[in-house]
Amino acid sequence: MKSLWNDIEAKKYQTDLQLRVYTSRLLGRNSSLVLHGGGNTSVKIKEKNLFNEEEEIIYIKGSGWDLATIEEAGFSPVRIAPLLKLAKLKSLSDSQMVNELKSNTIRANAPSPSVETILHAILPYKYVDHTHADSIVTITNNQNGLARIQEIYGDEVVIIPYVMPGFDLAKTCAEKFSAEVTEKTKGMVLMNHGLFTFGETAPESYEMTIELVSRAEEYLEKHNAFSIKIEKQEITNKELRYDLAKLRWEISKAAGFPVILKRYGDERSLAFTRRKDVNTLSQQGPATPDHIIRTKRVPLIGRDINSYVAQYKEYFAANAPQNSEKITMLDPAPRVILDPELGMCTVGKTVKNAKIVSDIYQHTMDIIERSTALGGYMALPTKDLFAVEYWELEQAKLKKSSNAPIFTGEIVLITGVASGIGKACVDSFLQRGAAVIGLDLDSAVEELNKKPDFLGITCDVTDEKAITNALEKAIQTFGGLDMLVLNAGIFPQGCDINQLVTEHWRKVMSVNLDANLILMRECHPFLKLAPKGGRVAVIGSKNVPAPGSSVAAYSTSKAALNQLARVAALEWGKDGIRINTLHPNAVFDTKIWTEDVLQARAEAYQLTVEEYKTKNLLKVEITSHKVAELAAEICSPVFACTTGAQIPIDGGNERVI
């Protein structure tokens, strides 16, 4: 493993805490050391309090922060003296420990200190680094793990048998480390858990991590258990969107809430899922108990959700203590699915969560295969895994009220998103927690939003094949479809009917009507599988109830689309799909309304531009954002009892009213 320390880069960091930030980020850059909030780092600093008394404070990574991006604010400052007293207690529940940690945090707005704060505090070093290095975990999850760790490091590390994180681990480490530490000690290995290194300076502690991990990697390489050969896999060309949507629906039903389902059909994932012994290897448990909260105890092999749920309930019943009525069973749905055709699929309440699961399991596959090559992968016993999965601190999280956005776990497809109302809809649905698929003829759609829960696809909505390809890509990315916003359309230059060219008419109908028919038809099977019921929002026009002259093609296309939506509301009600139409008017912050056009139209009415923008009964300006907000709201539970409605958003129009 290569050190990432850079003297020039390090000069930017002057204080002890700043250097702690720097080396923490170096560790976080390497996913084989820490993943998504895993690992902990700390530094001990002497500071004066309000009474000018000097206190020793430990700054430790706070809950919710990731080492790769941590800042000074991400470290929780906790008084060390009380922590050392706590370490001498015979027993302390983890909930009591968390309370004590918060009580001794010196900054009110600091994140919650790590549950390993006491462990960091008792180690007599200024800097402490804790990582879940893949190579260390690989070796400790081996049938001869203890002997191999001793072979690699001898008396240069203190070895701690597995103890669940929390007060008991801190107590065990305090006793064993103080009894075994010598001048030769370079680190501490926690079996099935990870590595601790330390030093009086930030680079000393960091470089020791690199040294000890490198020795583990060299050991694996020497025993032909480091480099994983991935055989070329036959990648299916079969359309998988229907299978994935059905699978997502079943998982959501088991979980009790909508989920995101991400598919990984790369050669690495397929190679693992197609191993002859995958049923044995994958069912032993996660590489480290820290991962069980994200990935569940074992993956689902194949697609039999009901069987998995039944097995999970048996697992809970067999391992829950006698006072199990005090334990709330977690949802029994899987978080990882291994299937020889699908490859690996991961599940999460959000795209971010599903991505975290995939990152963890990609590393888990490496660890399992390396440990198998080393002589045999062996995870912790079930009772230890259950203890972490149903830890009192995790149970406490379940009891807290959820403030998740209303569309968490749901997926929406929006057309015409490169600008105007469509672009505003992307923002409105993202803010409400949805994963968003945006279609547009403009290839700029692919770079429209950098968030992981947005997928932009260049697509001509008048091309049936392009639509089916877009749906295939979208559902392989997010797992299904819950909502559809039909926004794409064209507003051609006006002309009277006696001058209307047939080609012009057909083009308008193709985009504004035919394309929406295709989208509705192709999306219907997936909307039927929406866990909370499918929803369609149609962006119509004021020209439906109040047509204008010289726009026959546009007005007719929108009126026909409106009628199509009404018929669909009649037909799809039995499928739990509701369809409602918005009729906006005078939305001026779109591409067609340039400053010159606005000025000309305002002058035609002998109004200022601002007066022209608010030329309605309520004297309000209709913006893309306001239309988008209403489009999102009609897909929300507020409109759960409404379908087939036509809602004007025009500030009040005499002809419409």
| Mean per-residue pLDDT, 327-343 | 94
Q: Decide if pLDDT at 322 tops 80.
A: no
Kindly state the average pLDDT of the residues 502-513. 96
Tokens of 358: 């995939």
The alpha helices in 492-551, defined as continuous H runs, are: 502-509, 515-527
Describe the strand order of the beta sheet including 75-79 as a list of residue ranges. 75-79, 54-61, 40-48, 127-131, 194-199, 187-190, 157-160
- For residues 302 and 270, membership in a common domain is answered with yes
- What is the helix (H) or strand (E) element at residue 630, kind and residue range? helix 624-633
Same domain, 27 and 165: yes
Binned at pLDDT 50, 70 and 90, residue 445 comes out as: very high
pLDDT for the residue numbered 538: 98
pLDDT at 323: 67
Judge whether residue 326 has pLDDT over 80: no
Of these residues, 22, 206, 554, 612, which one is catalytic? 554
Number of domains in the chain: 4
Q: Give 119's strand partners.
A: none
Residues 338 and 476 in one domain: no
Give the gyration radius of the chain's Cα atoms: 30
Domain annotation covers residue 399: no
Token pair, residue 587, equals 């939305």
Give the chain's mean pLDDT.
94
What is the per-residue pLDDT across 452-472, written as a single tens digit (0 to 9) for each? 999 999 999 999 999 999 999
Q: Is 554 a catalytic residue?
A: yes
Please indicate, yes or no, whether residues 16 and 82 belong to a single structural domain of this protein. Answer: yes
543/585 Cα distance (integer angstroms):
8
The token duo for 446 is 């692919």
Band (400; pLDDT cuts 50, 70, 90): low
Q: Is the domain of 93 the same as that of 118?
A: yes
526 and 538 belong to one structural domain: yes
Q: Which H helix or E strand runs over 474?
A: helix 464-478
- What does the chain come to in residues? 657
- 248 exposed, middle or buried (CB, 10 Å; 0-12, 13-18, 19+)? buried
**Which pLDDT does position 328 carry in this prediction?**
84
Determine the Cα–Cα distance for residues 510 and 308; give it in Å rounded to an integer. 47
Encoded amino acid at 506, one letter: R
Q: Could you tell me if 614 and 631 lie in one domain?
A: no
112: number of CA atoms within 13 Å, CB side? 11
Q: Which two tokens stand for residue 527?
A: 């909307």
DSSP 256-319: TS--EEEEE-SHHHHHHHT-TTHHHHTTS--SSGGGHHHH-SSPEESS-HHHHHHHHHHHHHHH
CB–CB of 500/448 below 8 Å? no
167-180 vs 80-87: helix crossing angle, rounded to 10: 90
For the chain, what percent of residues have pLDDT higher than 70?
A: 99
**Look-up: residue for tokens 């139209």?**
601
State both tokens at 281: 């290897």
Residue 280 structure tokens: 């044995």
622: β partners: 587
Q: Give me the percent of the chain exceeding a pLDDT of 90.
A: 87
- 233 lies in a domain? no
Q: How far apart are CA 372 and CA 240, in angstroms?
A: 32
**Of the candidates 164, 195, 222, which is a domain's last residue?**
222
The dihedral sign for the CA sequence 398, 400, 405, 406: positive
Domain hosting 348: range is 241-394
- Hey, what's the torsion of the CAs at 60, 66, 68, 71, to 10 degrees? -60
Please check whether residue 401 lies inside any domain of the structure. Answer: no
For the chain, count helices (H), then strands (E): 25, 18
Does the pLDDT at position 585 exceed 70?
Answer: yes
What is the pTM assigned to this prediction?
0.94
Token representation of residue 415: 């057309």
197 and 48 part of one domain: yes
pLDDT 10s digits, 238-276: 899 999 999 999 999 999 999 999 999 999 999 999 999
Above 80 in pLDDT, residue 93?
yes
Could you write out the three-class secondary structure of 385-442? Answer: HHHHHCCHHHHHHHHCCCCCCCCCCCEEEEECCCCHHHHHHHHHHHHCCCEEEEEECC
Decide if pLDDT at 105 tops 90.
Answer: yes
Distance CA 172, CA 61 (A): 21
The mean pLDDT value for 146-171 works out to 94
Q: Looking at the domain assignment, is residue 104 inside a domain?
A: yes
C-alpha dihedral over 538, 541, 544, 545, to 10 degrees?
Answer: 110
Q: Which candidate, 89, 113, 111, 227, places its Cα nearest to that of 167? A: 89
Say if residue 401's pLDDT is above 70.
Answer: no
Report DSSP state, residue 461.
Answer: T
133 and 104 both lie in a single domain: yes
At how many degrees (to 10) do helices 552-572 and 515-527 cross?
A: 20
The number of angstroms, rounded, from the C-alpha of 542 to the middle of its chain's C-alpha atoms is 39
Residue 569 lies in a domain: yes
Last residue of a domain, one of 222, 251, 286: 222
Same structural domain for residues 263 and 118? no
Cα separation of 92 and 560, whole Å?
A: 70
**Angle, helices 464-478/241-255, rounded to nearest 10 degrees:** 40
Tokens of 475: 């559902």
CATH assignment of the domain containing 210: 3.40.225.10
Report the SS3 class of residue 96.
Answer: helix
Report the run of H or E that residue 481 belongs to, with start and end: none
Residue 580's CATH number: 3.40.50.720
CB neighbour burial string for 481-492, b if at least 16 within 10 angstroms, e if fewer: bbbbbbbbbebb
Within a domain: 402: no
Give the domain-ending residue among 394, 421, 438: 394
| Catalytically annotated residue among 61, 262, 532, 558 | 558
Q: Give the least confident one: 16-30, 226-240, 475-489.
A: 226-240
**pLDDT above 80: residue 324:** no
Of 335, 385, 327, 386, nearest in space to 360 by CA: 335
Question: Is the pLDDT reported for residue 590 higher than 90?
Answer: no
Pair (355, 489) in one structural domain: no
In terms of domains, do 340 and 262 share one? yes
CA 440 → CA 296, 424, 460, 468, 535, distances in Å?
A: 38, 14, 7, 14, 20
- Confidence band, pLDDT 50/70/90 cuts, at residue 604: confident
pLDDT of residue 325 exceeding 70: no
Query: Could you tell me if residue 637 is inside a domain?
Result: yes
**493 occurs within a structural domain:** yes
Q: How far apart are the C-alpha atoms of 372 and 528, rounded to whole Å? A: 43
Q: How many CB atoms lie within 10 A of CB 221?
A: 12
CB 385 within 8 A of CB 286: yes
Token output for 312: 């999970």
Q: Is 219 a catalytic residue?
A: no
